[in-house]
Structure 1
Amino acid sequence: MRGVRSSLWPKITLGLGLALVLLAGVGLVATKVLTNRYESSLTRQVLLAPSARGMSPQAQNTAWRDGGGPLNFLLIGSDLRADDPDEGQRSDTIIIVQINAERTGAHLVSIPRDLLVDIPEFPPTDFYGSREKINAAFHFGGGSAGGVQLLSATLAQLADIKFEGAAVIDFGGFERIIDLLGGVRLCVDAEVTSIHTDRHFPLGCQVFSGAEALDYSRQRYGLDNGDYDRQRHNQQLLKAIFNTALDGGIANNPIKIDQFIRALGASLTLDTGGATLTDVLLALRSLRPDGLVGVTVPSYPEMIGAESFVLLNEEAPQLFDALHRATLDQWALVNPQWVHAL
């Protein structure tokens, strides 16, 4: 989509990492008071198109509560809830999270925002369908919840999958959340200077503040593999957030949990169908950092005319088939070049 600003990949990774830490911890120790506070602090909207929703709201409730199969969750990094609506029509980061049937692990499949796809029609905005960058689906759906619905329909068509839930995360308060953790320890494996702040990141391990961690995780220029390096650094940040929260006992500290709940709730729009917040918390309580695996969609950049796109390569259909069949563990074993341990 022309004119859309740079990817929010770093921020969505941070948001997802924090969310999973909270869900795992709160599912074990939260009282009804805390759960109700969280429920009331976030916005619920219909984010999934009918063609992208895996089951009825009632069945979704049962799926989250009782298990019995994997869960697909769509995460969007966007300014959807920004005060300025003109600045809020962006879906720069798209991640499909497939949680295993045992609820002990998950694969995070990042979708390139410039991926060339067929976007289906969307009657509510009189959009008749077109072949565009996938990021454009949010715009053609009218932004807000409609934009996410069209994006979910596009992904359901592309990968032949359905979703049990979706979330849109806005990131204004997440620097503060890292700072609430006391910072996170990261090891810089490729020396780089920020193009945003001129901050220099030398080789070695250190504790990063929220601003420093986000700045480092945004860098791609000056790195050998560009966006792929940025993705790997975000995965490292994800694990660092998990480890810091769990090792520091944050998940068992009601006061800290309450602070995180208020900060996260102010940045989150959620669709879990008929599943309650308690169902979601309990379903994810066994997730841990070592159970997360990062996946990059097999693809390559290509200039078409004067514009840069990302095109799927010949290995992509096998990834989508593995998503459909929930066999990503097996797919990852034979496609390690597209897999990143977190």
Structure 2
Amino acid sequence: MIEEQLRETFERHETLAPPSAPLRAAIDRAVVRRRRNRLTRRLAGAAAALVAVASLPFALNTTAALPAIENTMLPGAAPPVDRPLTVAVLGVDDDGGRSYRADTVLVVHVPAGSHTAYLVSLPRDLLVEIPDRGRARLGETFYFGSQRKGQSPDLAAGAELTARTVTATTGMPIDATVTVRFSGLREVTDALGGVQICLDRPVPARRGDHIYPAGCQRLDGRSMLDLLRQRRLPHGVYDRDANGRAFVRGLLGSSVGDPVRLARVVKAAADGISVAGAGVTTPQLLRVATEIDAVTAVDIGSDFRGVTIDKVEYERLDPARSAPVFAAIRDNRLVDWVAANPKAVR
């Protein structure tokens, strides 16, 4: 009864309603203006971030040399990356600077035209064939590439060989690498006022009785480094890989898309991060970083598929679960693949 009366009332007064077209146009203009203002704020902050980078002794080690950063090469002026961008983030630890191995190998993929970064974690003990060398664990690839007899390790060469091995193993092209030394994580984390990390299960501290509880928590640099170096875990390397992945996801979530915080990371990372790549410029990388709105992890099915060869234990992937993800990244179809497989992301 009430519904009929309301309907009749609206029908009698319908001619008094203003035309909808002007209102819709005004809404559209407001949306465009809001997006433009947001982009302006981002690019202004990104410009400040890049100037900060230019004033630092920032180690731009090169596989195919990246150009030096200049104050005039602002991310806003950099040509947009109109193709997929895939970056390998390598977390490396050392034994006093004599040798380095990749404890964390994380592929960050940004599809063409997307503002979402998709993370794919590769186990450091993954069985791989190193180009021109042979069978090894993925994390060892960095060591083999960086070692120089009688000289200090060449981190750029280690990153380059790791990137080539990832491509040979998965088919995913790597446009650039970002090598993060664990020794620099403390400064980077503290520069952000701590980084939020979400743990699947509790992790005991390396020393003392403290336990990092399951769930999300913000840790300072000292605690984060302690957690990431913990090896005595229920599932060994699997848990350590998961902790490294959780940290990188938290770090990206705390810095990308926010030029001011990104500038803090760059300042703190002067001695702890090195960048290398080919086919994409540093301003373009920074521009993409400032435009990312979301960070999503993609599951490729790393589920304890170990194998022992010549008394050495390796990790394997389930090709039925991992191959479709690798192919989607290679062919720039990941957005469609994720839409069709929502349970594979988190």
Q: Which TM-score applies when normalising by structure 1? A: 0.68
Question: Would you say the 8 A contact 2:175–2:277 is kept in 1?
Answer: yes
Where do 1:261-340 residues align within 5 Å? 261-273=266-278, 275-288=280-293, 290-296=294-300, 298=302, 300-315=305-320, 316-332=322-338, 339-340=344-345
Q: Quote how far apart the aligned CAs of 1:262 are.
A: 1.8
Structure with larger RCO (C-alpha < 8 A, sep 6+): 1
Q: 3-state SS of the aligned residue for 1:295? A: coil
Aligned partner of residue 322 in structure 1, secondary structure: helix
Q: Report the AA paired with residue 267 of structure 1.
A: G
CA RMSD, aligned part only?
3.7
> What CA deviation, in whole Å up to 9, does each residue of 1:148-190 have, x standing for no partner?
2222222222222322222211132322333343334556663
Letter matched to residue 170 of structure 1: R
**Distance in 1, Cα, partners of 2:189 & 2:44:** 22
The one-letter amino acid paired with 1:211 is: R
Deviation at 1:298, TM superposition (A): 4.1
Q: 2:139 aligns with which of 130, 135, 142?
A: 135
* Local SS of the residue matching 1:117: strand
Secondary structure of the residue aligned to 2:290 is coil
Letter in structure 2 aligned against 1:109:
V
1:7 corresponds in structure 2 to none
Write the distance in 2 (CA, Å) between the matches of 1:235 and 1:25.
30
SS of the residue corresponding to residue 108 of structure 1 reads strand
**Percent identical:** 24
Measured in 1, the distance between the counterparts of 2:319 and 2:262 equals: 45
The one-letter code matched in structure 2 to 1:73 is V
Distance 2:272 2:341 in 1: 35
Q: Is the 8 A contact 1:302 1:310 kept in 2?
A: yes
Cα distance in 1 for residues equivalent to 2:79 and 2:145: 31
The answer on 1:98 being equivalent to 2:109 is yes
**Cα distance in 2 for residues equivalent to 1:332 and 1:137:** 30
* 1:195 Cα offset (Å): 3.9
Consecutive unaligned residues in structure 2, runs of 5 or more: 1-39, 66-74, 148-153
Q: Could you tell me whether the CA contact under 8 Å between 1:178 and 1:184 is conserved in 2?
A: yes
Match of 1:71 among 72, 85, 100: 85
Q: Secondary structure at the match of 1:73?
A: strand
Would you say 1:45 and 2:61 are equivalent positions? yes
Paired amino acid for 2:329: L
Equivalent residues in 2 for 1:228-243, closer than 5 Å: 228-234=238-244, 236-238=246-248, 240-241=250-251
Q: Is the 8 A contact 1:169 1:269 kept in 2?
A: yes
Deviates more, 1:167-176 or 1:229-238: 229-238
Kept after mapping to 1: 8 A contact 2:233/2:240: no
Q: Deviations over 1:19-40 (max 9, x none)?
A: xxxxx997441446x5244144
> What is aligned with 2:167?
156
Whether 2:188 is the aligned partner of 1:177: answer yes
SS in 2 for 1:141: helix
Query: Aligned in 2, Cα 1:282/1:309: closer, same or farther, shift over 3 Å?
Result: same
Q: SS at the partner of 2:193?
A: coil
What TM-score, normalized to structure 2?
0.67
Residues matched between the structures, number = 286
CA 1:187/1:77 → structure 2, altered by over 3 Å: closer, same or farther?
A: closer
Could you give the per-residue CA deviations for residues 261-317 of structure 1, whole angstroms, max 9, x where no partner exists?
3212221211243644333222332212x3432434546222335321112323232
SS in 2 for 1:265: coil
Does the 8 A contact of 2:129 with 2:136 survive in 1?
yes
Gaps of 5+ in 1: 1-23, 50-60, 122-128
C-alpha distance in 2 between matches for 1:215 and 1:241: 16
3-state SS in 2 of match to 1:96: strand
Counterpart contact for 2:46–2:286, Cα < 8 Å: no
